[in-house]
Chains A and B, each alone.
Chain A
Amino acid sequence: AQSVSQHNHHVILSEAASLELGCNYSYGGTVNLFWYVQYPGQHLQLLLKYFSGDPLVKGIKGFEAEFIKSKFSFNLRKPSVQWSDTAEYFCAVNVGNDMRFGAGTRLTVKP
């Protein structure tokens, strides 16, 4: 079945640690890829997106993601996390008029 998989359910890091959150999708053909973030008590916001071109995309707040077509992956990275990055992160894939989300990864950053 077509799906979006996020490998980690809950990640706990200390401040200044490096972050990588995995995302794999199983849709064939051309896809548009997104990472959304939901801070505690807030609605979802777009972090970054990939439509075409350079497979390494940079988003807000120092986040970046790399699209690897051969691996059907779109992993999110940040070199040095901050306490304020504590949030839930959702990978999403746009297929036609539909946007499918992964189950989310909860990131807790310890000060």
Chain B
Amino acid sequence: NAGVTQTPKFQVLKTGQSMTLQCAQDMNHNSMYWYRQDPGMGLRLIYYSASEGTTDKGEVPNGYNVSRLNKREFSLRLESAAPSQTSGYFCASSEPWGLNEKLFFGSGTQLSVL
């Protein structure tokens, strides 16, 4: 049982380049999330998807887009990367609150934008 799988683990981009971070979960969870983790700021929610076909903005959505391709997959896209997007990115999934009480996290993607 792989849980939450993220790719790639590391990525270096030049300013203005685009890329997509992939995330897949095999736990049949309805809800999926993308967080970024910055030193001294903890995790901040970028976007989330409460169920297949729906997405909503979180705390820091600017500069990002997401796609909930199906129940398993939730991708995060940077259309034009900026140095301010250098960060650790974590995908997570969960059942709706009340049915299951915790987030399952992927191992993260370290992104550097030069």
Q: Are B43 and A90 in contact (CB under 8 A)?
A: yes
- Contact pattern, A 77-96, Cβ under 8 Å of B = 1, otherwise 0: 00000000000001010100
Q: Are B90 and A44 in contact (CB under 8 A)?
A: yes
Interfacial chain A residues near B59, Cβ < 8 Å: 98, 100
Size class of the contact patch on chain A: 20 to 34
Interfacial chain A residues near B35, Cβ < 8 Å: 101
Q: In the bound complex, what is the Cα–Cα distance between A32 and B41 (angstroms)?
A: 21
Interfacial chain A residues near B107, Cβ < 8 Å: 42-43
Q: Are B101 and A97 in contact (CB under 8 A)?
A: no
Does any Cβ of B come within 8 Å of A46's Cβ?
yes
Interfacial chain A residues near B48, Cβ < 8 Å: 97-98
Interfacial chain A residues near B58, Cβ < 8 Å: 98
* SS of A interface (majority): strand
Expressed in whole angstroms, the minimum distance between the Cβ of A50 and any Cβ of chain B is 10
Which residues 47-63 in B have Cβ within 8 Å of A in the complex?
A: 48, 50, 56, 58-59
Does any Cβ of A come within 8 Å of B27's Cβ?
no
Expressed in whole angstroms, the minimum distance between the Cβ of A9 and any Cβ of chain B is 7
* Most central of A4, A43, A45 by chain B CB within 10 Å: A43
Closest partner residue, chain A, to B106 (CB atom): A43
Interfacial chain B residues near A90, Cβ < 8 Å: 42-43
Which residues 6-55 in B have Cβ within 8 Å of A in the complex?
A: 31, 33, 35, 40-45, 48, 50
Q: Are B101 and A51 in contact (CB under 8 A)?
A: yes
Interfacial chain B residues near A103, Cβ < 8 Å: 40-42
Closest partner residue, chain B, to A49 (CB atom): B101
Given A43-B90, A43-B106, A49-B101, A99 and B45 touching (CB < 8 A)? yes
Q: Which B residues have a C-beta under 8 Å from some C-beta of A?
A: 31, 33, 35, 40-45, 48, 50, 56, 58-59, 90, 92, 97, 101-103, 105-108
Q: Which 3 A-B pairs have the closest CB atoms?
A: A101-B43, A103-B42, A46-B102
Q: Name 11 A/B residue pairs within 8 A (Cβ), A-sorted.
A: A9-B40, A46-B102, A97-B48, A97-B50, A97-B56, A99-B33, A99-B103, A100-B59, A101-B35, A101-B42, A101-B43
